[in-house]
Amino acid sequence: MPDTLTDLLFPAYGVRGALVEITSGIDAMLGARHYAPDVRRLVGQAIAAMPLLASHSKFEGRINLQFQGKGALQMLVAQIDRHLQVRGMAKAAADAQGDFETLMHDGTLAVMLDPDAGTQGYQAFVPTRGATLSRALEGYFAQSEQLPTMLRLALGPQRIAGILLQRLPEGSFDADGWDHLQILLDTLGEEEHGAIDGATLLRRLFHEEDLRVFEPRPLKLACRCDRGSIASLLLSLGESEIEPVLVEQGKVDVTCEFCGQQYLFMPDEVRQLYAAERSEPATATRH
Ligand SMILES: [Zn+2]
């Protein structure tokens, strides 16, 4: 089962949509950090949301969904890049529990467009009221795009799933058709959503509708970290930060916060990095 983002169109109603299915890489991304069940569910839903946020954007760059708080959930980050590669992580107390609003209540949640060189960045806050991330993001779309949007996100045992329906910005819009689609979508429970494949979902909800399903686009749930990016991180932290660690521990151990991959750097290698940076223009090694 390939991991895909599929665009949808209900031409008679003036409504577009997008469907996300991910079945690979879930254990690698969510398993390394031993999340409490409610946190794991939230990270999975945040990952499902990212391709939907990117589905119609002409934006070229990286989209981040980012939460910072002071309660049991301290941080949640999900990212997607222009190649539809997604990753997500959270920092939370081992006993963190509750629905979306409970976990989010004392922090801020934002969608950030992190542009490639030459384009404009953008940040918008997502309201954190409502029991689910889906509802919160519906509020975000209503505010930022002024378009009615329905969103459902699910983490199943072997599946990350999401579906978005949105009024088209132009053309004729059928309000009764929209209400009809909402009734159909409301019959989809989160547990079922996380258990059935996309084709089954579309058949089950919309088999009587005039629905156009476009060619699925491949996406990938995987971390972007590699030894080179960790080396860049060490450079950006600076020699004065890292040298004491080398002296004290005889190595630098860096664990990727997203996927849990460990990177071990020995003193010679780290000192060569700094030496190389000193002898090169700074732009050659910074990212
Ligand atoms: Zn990683």
Looking at residue 128, its amino acid is T
**What's the start-to-end Cα distance of the chain, in Å?**
35
CA 174, 175, 180, 181 dihedral sign is positive
pLDDT in tens, 168-219: 988 889 999 999 999 999 999 999 999 999 999 999 999 999 999 999 999 9
**Measured distance CA(286)–CA(283) in Å, rounded:** 5
For 224-262, the pLDDT digits (tens) are 899 998 999 899 999 999 999 999 999 999 988 888 889
Domains and CATH numbers, the chain: 4-221 (3.55.30.10), 227-284 (3.90.1280.10)
pLDDT at 64: 93
With contact defined as beta carbons under 8 Å apart, do 18 and 5 qualify?
Answer: yes
Q: 264: closest CA among 246, 241, 287?
A: 246
Ligand 1 center to 32 CA (angstroms):
10
Residue 261: per-residue pLDDT: 85
Q: How far is the CA of 185 from the centre of ligand 1 (A)?
A: 35
Amino acid letter, 230? I
Q: Could you tell me the pLDDT band of residue 113, with boundaries at 50, 70 and 90?
A: confident
Lay out the sheet containing 85-92: strands in order across. 122-126, 108-115, 61-68, 73-80, 85-92, 220-221
- The reported pTM is 0.88
The alpha carbon of 258 and the centre of ligand 1 are apart by a number of angstroms equal to 5
Q: How far is the CA of 165 from the centre of ligand 1 (A)?
A: 32
